[in-house]
Amino acid sequence: MNILVIGGAGYIGSHVTREFLDLGHKCTVYDNLSSGLRENLFAEAKFVHGDIHDYQTLLNSMKSSAFDALVHLAASKAAGESMLNPEKYSRNNIAGTINILNAACEAGIKNIVFSSSAAVYGEPQYLPIDEKHPTLPENYYGFTKLEIERFLGWYDKLKNIRYASLRYFNAAGYDVKGRIKGLEQNPANLLPVIMETACGIRKEMQVFGDDYDTQDGTCIRDYVHVNDLATGHALALNYIVKNNKSFIVNLGSENGFSVTEVLETAREVTGKSIPAKVSERRSGDPAKLTASCTFAHELLGWKAQHSDLKTLIKTSWEAYSK
């Protein structure tokens, strides 16, 4: 298939593009490089240096080739920042996606895979979280992702655009074949923060609270390898094209690891001390978040293969220690 990957120079976007290319698909990456990196681009994929706010460029790109589908991974994704600067998230995540949807209608692109997030669920009412769990986002980032899912539902109904909305849990790790090297800039997520501390970019990291109701007092999260996420995108695209049917699905490992477990395993794998200090809780952090991926398994035959803690950390360290 001929696929337009919007945000394809980003951390997840580059792994998704690599997966599509490995499967023999033709890819065009559309990215403004605001957080995506040129070094994440592949020679086999055409690159358009464009912004999703630039409707005309976006539309011209969509019309430049007979695209079978687009994958939309271009968004701001820091939950904490979204509470301090909601305007940025309204603009990038909501207005940007409306541009993409309207340009897709004009260009006749009928299949969309959308990068959503477990943040749509908010505070867990039960665990593991399945797709029937109430969606009550606690941060503006999660709100934007949920609202976009609602737009997609309407465009399915009114414009026959079929979509797959993939609710990622905590994306982590790097390409198991070491082909992607671009490091996220100023990351806030646990794994890259640990990696930056391990290689001395940061002097010390903070553990945001150790008084949660978990076995060691630190928060538990469902970390899913970015190669597993990429496979999920390919299976999801095949499904909507083949069945002409939209769906929403969780993508997680179904395992939960605490901050302490991740930190200890990182010290073991890297051989580095990784200085860490326990500080105040970060507001909005639930004690535990783990996914049920029964639906992804039944619908797509998808199951995380590389999301064990050792692989997540080993592949991350291979990228950071270079």
190 touching ligand WQD, by CB under 6 A: yes
Give 61 or 250: the residue with its C-beta nearer to ligand WQD: 250
Percent of residues in the chain assigned helix, strand, coil, to nearest 5: 40, 20, 40
Q: How many residues bind ligand WQD (CB under 6 A)?
A: 20
Tokens describing residue 284 = 């909005």
Per the annotation, the verdict on 141 as an active-site residue is: yes
Sole binder of ligand WQD in the list 123, 126, 150, 188 (CB under 6 A)? 188
Strand partners, 276: 205
Backbone φ and ψ of 134, nearest 5°: -55, 145
Quote the CA–CA distance of 221 and 286 in Å, as a whole number. 9
Question: Using CB atoms, what's the residue nearest to ligand WQD?
Answer: 219
99 touching ligand WQD, by CB under 6 A: no
Q: What part of residues 257-286 is at the interface with ligand WQD (CB under 6 A)?
A: 259, 282, 285
Minimum Å gap between C-beta 24 and ligand WQD is 28
Burial 79-110 (b: 16+ CB within 10 A, else e): bebbeeeeeebbebbbebbebbbebbbebebb
Minimum Å gap between C-beta 285 and ligand WQD is 5
Would you call the peptide bond into 128 cis, given omega within 30 degrees of 0 as the criterion?
A: yes
208 touching ligand WQD, by CB under 6 A: yes
Give 79 or 101: the residue with its C-beta nearer to ligand WQD: 79
Find where tokens 């706010």 sit.
53
119 touching ligand WQD, by CB under 6 A: yes
Compute the Cα dihedral for 247, 253, 257, 262 and give only its sign: negative
Could you tell me which stretch among 33-41, 177-185, 189-197, 226-234 binds ligand WQD (CB under 6 A)? 189-197
219 touching ligand WQD, by CB under 6 A: yes
85 touching ligand WQD, by CB under 6 A: no
Cβ(73)–Cβ(9) under 8 Å? no
Q: Which of 56, 6, 57, 58 is nearest to 33 (CA)?
A: 6
Residues assigned a catalytic role? 141
* Interface residues toward ligand WQD, by CB under 6 A: 77, 79, 117, 119, 141, 168, 170, 188-190, 193, 205-208, 219, 221, 259, 282, 285
